[in-house]
Amino acid sequence: MATASIFSTDSTHLFNSSPPIIGKLSPSNFNSVRSTVTFSRKTLTPIRFSSSPADHSPAAAITSPTVEGIATRSKTSLKSRLQGGETLYGMFLLSFSPTLAEIAAHSGYDYVVVDMEHGHGGIPEALDCIRALNAAGVAAVLRLPENCPTWAKKALDLGPQGIMFPMIESRKDATKAVSYCRFPPEGIRGSAHTVVRASKYGIDEGYLGNYADELLIMCQVESAEGVKKADEIAAVDGVDCVQMGPLDLSASIGYLWDPGHKKVREMMRRAEKAVLTSDPAKGGAYLSGFAMPHDGPAAIRERGYNMVAGAVDIGLFRNAAAEDVRRFKMGLVNESDGEDSLDNGKDVDDEKYWSE
């Protein structure tokens, strides 16, 4: 006699050869049991949660469920915050350290770009960093090593809020990048949405209907050719943000060692103007960029940038470590000259010890 299985997700296959959970069924009680014991995929659907658009804290993701219990999309995604007029501040993560990712998140950055173009890590390492950022309530953006469908597919399946394509130089390049992010027929993204992390491994049944609304697609303009076509790139349907790349841009026009050169700045302003004159509400794009020693975060923000990356984790640690060593070495020099820098009280009064 066939027996029932709780593992069936289709009520039409309720009675199969799986281990019994209600015992043997006889012809006399088969129909009565079948009418009362049913299992379906719908019984596995979790209650969805919505968050307040005014609250961007990690706790905002855990609020009261909607009355209907139906999935509602996040009001605190990067894209929705940009649409709400916010200027977002972020950093780049090249170390692929989940610990540094957590520190960045808890420090208050709005987003962190996990950099697979110049960082040493790949998909597994990026996943660890995304999990750390998600747990701390901060959005992750993945920068790809190159503009290709394979990298885009693997990155998108991890479920980042944003994806950044390097070295976009034309409308064609930008159009291809967008197509890599869209499922057919709008694009060519490979589909495994029933099992990948982006859809909560298939638990988020609203994923296919909403993924395009939540994903921030960023295209980098970082060459002289890209600057010439910046207006066309910004106008491509699906391109949400144009990310300026000052170092590669300076290299492309012969000033690798001088990104602050007048000609480089002129090229930057040209591209910035092309993007800023576009209207994101009418098919244009937001403007994003890196802070540089000669062009700090405040200056970038004042020029109208919507997203500002003010730091790189490797650079922050390098600077802090080099300064720490310098201060110690200088202290030894001062002591040898009869000046005890620790006894004069200046260092102790001005800064707390790291353990306090």
Query: CA 79 to CA 217: how far, in whole Å?
Result: 9
Are 219 and 233 contacting, i.e. CB atoms less than 8 angstroms apart? Answer: yes
Are 35 and 168 contacting, i.e. CB atoms less than 8 angstroms apart? Answer: no
Only one residue has tokens 């060519």, namely: 188
Query: CA 349 to CA 340: how far, in whole Å?
Result: 15
Residue 48: which of 198, 200, 208, 162 has the closest Cα? 200
CB atoms within 10 A of CB 63: 12
User: Between 149-156 and 123-135, two packed helices, what is the crossing angle to 10 degrees?
Assistant: 40
CB atoms within 10 A of CB 345: 9
**Cα distance from N-terminal residue to C-terminal residue, the chain:** 70
Query: CA 60 to CA 262: how far, in whole Å?
Result: 45
Are 152 and 180 contacting, i.e. CB atoms less than 8 angstroms apart? Answer: yes
Active site residues: 118
Are 124 and 142 contacting, i.e. CB atoms less than 8 angstroms apart? Answer: no
User: Between 123-135 and 98-107, two packed helices, what is the crossing angle to 10 degrees?
Assistant: 30
Residues near 350 by Cβ (< 8 Å), separated by ≥ 6? none
Distances in Å between the Cα of 143 and the Cα atoms of 66, 200, 301 are 34, 21, 22
Residues near 352 by Cβ (< 8 Å), separated by ≥ 6? none
What would the 3-class secondary structure string for 195-230 be? CCHHHCCCCCCCHHHHHHHHCEEEEEECCHHHHHCH
